[in-house]
Chains A and B, each alone.
Chain A
Amino acid sequence: MRWLDYLIRRLLMAILVLISVSIITFFIARVIPSDPAAAWVGPRPTQDQINKARVQLGLDSPLWIQYWRYATSFLKGDFGTSVRTHQPILNDLKVYLPATMELVLASMIIAIVVGIPLGVLSGAYKGSLLDHSTRLISIAGVSMPTFWLGLILQLFFFAKLGILPIGGRISNEVALFSPIHVITGFYFFDSLIAGNWLAFKDTLLHLILPSFVLAAYATGLVIRMTRSTMVEVLNENYILAARVAGISEKKVLFVLALKNALTPTITVLGLCFVYSLTGAILVEVIFSWPGLGTYVTNAVMSIDFPVIVTVTLVVTVFYVLINLFMDLLQATIDPRIRL
């Protein structure tokens, strides 16, 4: 039962983390100099309007009561209302979260499909031309500023070649003449389920540039990480034994060695994933991608504290769960990790 015990322990810890994060963000958001009541009313509030809004928003009660009210309604699924847009935050998240998830998932797939094989090969053929060129790719990926890479790719593929769209999730043609019926919020799946091939193709085309740009950093990191652990693992005796036993090189590299070399890569991928949920701001802005990053940036700029607190909490939930998932995944892949 050690696995289940561990799982329960970790879940309890996660709840504690969530409560602490909610308290900290709630109180920080409320001590910075800003007046949510004034923000609610608009750019030119009168004193009467502000007073009225203060009562309406419950800002006249003590802070801890406000927190209690917030926490209880959060548990009931009411994430509060944005003071800037007067919209229920849940309605916004329903649109922005899947949009970001779609982008982040696509970029993670690229990072895995491109990063791991390149890492394995350059680890195996250390010092070869392949290794050097891969190093160049990975260093470029990690160090190139995303906004620059994004703009360059746009300039090339949109302005010069005209083969890829400049941004957005779908084109006007599709939005007007063959709209996607939203079910999951992942346009990729939604168009596939509906058999709306025009929209499916359009969604894919729109995903290519932003997901490559977002994947650049993660791919670089995955290559470097896989390479260095591969170099280490390939020096182990069991690899030598396997080679002596005549096991094919492909199997040695991609099964025997990779299995043990994968642990740190998985950690990196997990962190990249969660980081990208809100860290994809620049990519989202450049590619007009209506995601969580853009949403939370606008909220921070206008000190829309209910949005800031809620998005922080939602991202924390993902962070905690994905971390836990990655921990367990590692232990499953690598028996050396004992819990």
Chain B
Amino acid sequence: MNRQRVISLIILGIVLIFTTTQCTPQPTPPAATEATTGLSPAPTVEEPPPTSGEASLKEVFVYAHQTAFPDLDPMRSYSNDSVVTSNCYETLTFYNPPGSKDVLSPKLAESWEANTDATEWTFHLRKGVVFQDGEPFNAEAVKYSIMKVKEIGVGASYIWDSVKEIQVVDDYTIKILLSYSAPLDLIASTGYQAWMVSPKTYESESPEWYNEGNCAGTGPYTIESYERGSRLVMTRFEEYWGGWKPGQFEKIVFEISQDSVVLQQKIESGVADFTYGVPPDNIPTLEKNTDLVVYTNPSFQNLVGLLNTKKPPLDNKLVRQALSYSFPYEQFIQGVMGSRATQARGVVPKGMWGHGDELLQYNFDPEKAKQLLTEAGYPEGGFKLLMTYSNGDMDEQQVGELWKAELKKLGIELEVQGMNWEAQWDLGKSDPLNAQDIFVMYWWPDYVSPYAFLKSMFVTESPTLFNLGYYSNTEYDKLVDDGNILTGVDRDAATMKFIEAQSILLDDAVSLFFYDVNNEHIARADVEGFVDNPAYGHVVFVYQLTRK
């Protein structure tokens, strides 16, 4: 009996071990082994960390990051991965931070021009640039990069939808023909899916290769190692075309910590050099800390509440205007958001071209709301509205709760419904007469143009995708399209069109524009050269930084 028991136990043990080892990694290639044995100290036990290591940690920039990197394939990535990819890959043009003289500056393209209706673009490429795999950067690589993104077709690949044909004029000149007008110079500066990649590597490697911790761009840093979900290390690309000066960082470490309190402890203790996403209530404490610098700047993201223009009672413009006057903007921002938000003015966030400082800004005015409701035939309110927002977003939820209290005073009952994004979006895409009354969501530009806001959310659309207030106005549509065509050739004229379009939206009160989100980035005080650039979100271009 006993022996049988023992046998059974052994069999089970083997099965258990088998299932476990099925899921353990294969040995890494010999290169990694070499690195291990080469760099680890002699196997004497109680040796402290090598002093040379301590010294070189100064040349390492540590970014404590809140989320993992879902996909590092440069052709597919459309997420926070850009904090990594932006240090490895480069775009043809670069979007300058707000306050710069020009909107764009040259990157891999030294200059560019368009024909009069912005349907033909010529880019003159930088010479002497090499990819990290040793291949030269040239017109063929540009053609490959753009066409491949279009072919794969995920993420923001639609930014290239206008591209009809790409002609290689010579090694360093490329001509791009469009099927309709588009500001290709702006599109080429995008922080997603506008990266120039080495055709040789992209053809020979699978998407998994990138997610095992590899990259092959023209940028200043390349990925050295990647422990999925916890740490990514980048190291200098010595042949970078920009060259290297003393004081620039040798390596970048991205450390992933999901907990916001942990992020704060890391930046306070100096374990990390840069972070964002710490608990908002603790920002004032961090601001007082002389070891830290808190950068508070407008992002290009804003929070909107699209009103259902097809369904009564919100199909009535007066009721929509009344709602626009019923939200306590200032009180909300002061009480809940603090320095994390600025009250929005118009659709286009402050700091972005196309933002209108003269546009109408609705303020909290319950008297006026009451008066408008009376005019519309609802003096006592007496109707019910459904507001949907994305589950788990505390700020959106608090917008709903506060607004609910104010609307109650006007006799309007607001149901605040948190849903997961997919369900919220599905409801939004269904028949407008059965859909929500107010759709709360964040919006941000895929490429930095007012068009990204004005087109997707408000231009007549069928079937519905993101025009979730179902707004339709031919005059408005025309202004936005005209503005877009002008964007490529005459940005001032385009701005005029976009501002005019926005004033129509504001008069029609098609949406509540709650606030523009501010980015709050925190860096150690000894890190110099950081410039907040909302066009690239939370990206830090480490090449520009030095340590004091």
Q: Are A175 and B33 in contact (CB under 8 A)?
A: no
CA distance A318 to B12 in the complex (A): 12
Chain B residue with the shortest CB-CB distance to A288: B257
Contact A42 B154 (CB under 8 A): yes
| A33-B426 contact, Cβ under 8 Å, with A87-B211, A175-B253 | yes
* A283 vs chain B, min Cβ distance (A): 11
Within 8 A of A (CB), among B491-541: none
**Which residues of A196-252 are within 8 A (CB) of B?**
196-199
Q: Which chain B residue shows the least CB distance to A282? A: B259
From residue B276, how far is it (CB to closest CB) to chain A in Å? 16
Q: Does A31 have its Cβ within 8 Å of any Cβ on chain B?
A: no
Nearest A residue to B158, CB-CB: A46
Chief secondary structure at chain A's binding surface: helix
Known: A33-B426, A331-B5. A176 touches B227 (CB 8 A): no
CB distance from A155 to the nearest CB of B (A): 8
Cβ-defined contact, A49 with B153, below 8 A: yes
Contact assessment for A168 and B230 in the assembled complex, using a CB-CB cutoff below 8 Å: yes
> How far apart are the CA atoms of A63 and B28 in the complex, in Å?
39
Asked whether any CB of chain B lies closer than 8 Å to the CB of A132, the reply is: no
| 0 or 1 for each of A37-69: is its CB under 8 Å from B? (1 = yes) | 011111111111100110000000000000000
Q: Which of A4, A52, A178, A179 contacts B153 (CB 8 A)?
A: A52
Which chain A positions have C-beta within 8 A of B420? 34, 303
Selected from A39, A166, A194, the residue in CB contact (under 8 A) with B36 is: A194
A319-339 Cβ-contact flags toward B at 8 Å (1 or 0):
001101100110110000000
Given contacts A35-B422, A182-B28, contact A295 B229 (CB under 8 A): yes
CA distance A52 to B422 in the complex (A): 18
Q: Evaluate contact between B39 and A178: CB separation under 8 angstroms.
A: yes
A3 nearest CB neighbor, chain B only: B4
Interface-lining segment among A91-99, A112-120, A123-131 = A91-99
Number of interface residues of B (CB under 8 A): 89
In-complex Cβ contact of A166 among B23, B39, B71, B271 (8 A): B271
Find out whether the CB atom of B227 lies under 8 angstroms from the CB atom of A86.
no
Measured in the bound complex, the distance between the Cα atoms of B413 and A121 in whole Å is 62
> Which of B46-54, B358-366, B369-377 is near enough to bind chain A?
B46-54
Residues of A within 8 A of B466 (CB): 44
In this complex, how many residues of chain A approach chain B with their Cβ under 8 Å: the count is 92
Which residues from A are CB-within-8-Å of B62?
A: 172
CB pair B230 A290 closer than 8 Å: yes
Q: How far is the CB of B461 from chain A (nearest CB, A)?
A: 10
Which residues of B212-262 have CB atoms within 8 Å of chain A's CB atoms? 212, 225, 227-231, 233, 251, 253, 255-259, 261-262
The residues in B between 1 and 44 inclusive whose CB is less than 8 angstroms from any CB of A are 1, 4-5, 7-9, 11-13, 15-16, 19-25, 27-28, 32-33, 35-37, 39-41, 43-44
Would you call A172 and B57 a contact (CB within 8 A)?
yes
User: In the complex, are the beta carbons of A176 and B233 less than 8 A apart?
Assistant: yes
List chain B positions with a Cβ less than 8 A from chain A.
1, 4-5, 7-9, 11-13, 15-16, 19-25, 27-28, 32-33, 35-37, 39-41, 43-45, 47, 49-50, 53-54, 56-57, 60, 62, 68, 70-71, 73, 76, 78-79, 153-158, 207-208, 211-212, 225, 227-231, 233, 251, 253, 255-259, 261-262, 265-266, 268-269, 271, 392, 420, 422-423, 425-426, 446, 456, 463, 465-466
* Further contacts, 13 of them, CB under 8 A, given A42-B78, A95-B229: A1-B4, A3-B4, A49-B153, A86-B76, A90-B23, A94-B24, A98-B23, A173-B49, A173-B57, A184-B25, A196-B43, A288-B230, A321-B12
